[in-house]
């Protein structure tokens, strides 16, 4: 087996184990040692592929990206224009138990970036930059005036939602978020006012 394939498979295994540890014990319990134990490996094995806790979590997020791309594609289907842009925002503002784990990991990576984990930060930025680019492409494809500002607002709304869904999930359930999102979409994307 080529070394490249082996490394990719190992990173995938490490990503799955990271998520499993986070689901079972919380993101605070995600450590190189905990993931190594989960895989029945040594800590040295893990650090060969991901040298820090921040990169361990960023690796899990990087591996989730393909799944998110597939889910977004399925959610948006053949929609075009403003309907596609609105569907993307709705898709971004939904929660599942696994999404809560990924959001918690994302927040932890942001916090760890301050400790100088540039590689982890770049992995994180590639995921979040792709999300913003998708909103910008959607606003432009919908032929909306002020496409960049619309993308800014939708991106910040969805990112703020992700933080609140981790910080206060009971206070910010999907139903509450979707109601305010619909008002935002009605006025910002569809150009209608007076929505109920």
Could you tell me which of 166, 177, 176, 155 has the C-alpha nearest to residue 28?
166
Rounded to whole angstroms, the Cα distance separating 28 from 194 reads: 44
For the segment 77-116, what is each residue's pLDDT rounded down to a tens digit? 999 888 999 999 999 898 887 888 888 888 887 777 666 6
Residues 128 and 151: beta-carbon distance below 8 Å: no
Give the pLDDT score at 195: 47
What φ, ψ does residue 84 adopt, rounded to 5°? Answer: -65, -45
Confidence of residue 196 (pLDDT cuts 50, 70, 90): very low
Rounded to whole angstroms, the Cα distance separating 117 from 106 reads: 14
Give the pLDDT score at 113: 64
Give the pLDDT score at 193: 66
For the segment 166-195, what is each residue's pLDDT rounded down to a tens digit? 889 899 988 999 999 999 999 888 877 654
pLDDT at 29 over 90: yes
Confidence of residue 4 (pLDDT cuts 50, 70, 90): low
Q: Enumerate domains of the chain plus CATH numbers.
A: 3-189 (1.10.357.10)
Percent of the chain topping pLDDT 90: 43
The mean per-residue pLDDT over the stretch 41-49 comes to: 96
For the segment 105-153, what is each residue's pLDDT rounded down to a tens digit? 888 877 776 666 777 778 778 878 888 998 999 899 887 778 999 999 9
Among 47-51, 58-62, 104-108, 124-128, the least confident range? 124-128
Rg of the chain over all Cα atoms, to the nearest angstrom: 18
Q: Mean pLDDT over all residues of the chain? A: 87
């Amino acid at each position: 087996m080529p070394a490249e394939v082996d490394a990719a498979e190992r990173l995938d295994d490490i990503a799955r184990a990271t998520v499993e540890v986070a689901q079972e014990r919380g993101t605070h319990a995600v450590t190189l040692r905990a993931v190594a134990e989960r895989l029945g490996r040594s800590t040295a094995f893990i650090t060969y592929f991901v040298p820090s806790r921040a990169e361990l979590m960023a690796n899990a997020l990087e591996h989730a990206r393909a799944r998110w791309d597939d889910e977004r594609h399925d959610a948006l289907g053949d929609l075009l224009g403003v309907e596609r842009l609105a569907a993307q925002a709705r898709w971004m503002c939904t929660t599942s138990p696994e999404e809560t784990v990924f959001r918690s990991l994302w927040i932890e990576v942001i916090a760890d970036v301050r400790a100088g984990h540039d590689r982890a930060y770049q992995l994180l930025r590639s995921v979040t930059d792709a999300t913003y680019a998708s909103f910008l492409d959607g606003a432009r494809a919908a032929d909306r005036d002020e496409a960049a500002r619309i993308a800014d607002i939708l991106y910040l709304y969805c990112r703020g939602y992700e933080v609140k869904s981790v910080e206060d999930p009971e206070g910010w359930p999907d139903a509450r978020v979707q109601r305010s999102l619909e008002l935002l979409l009605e006025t910002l994307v569809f150009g209608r006012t007076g929505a109920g």
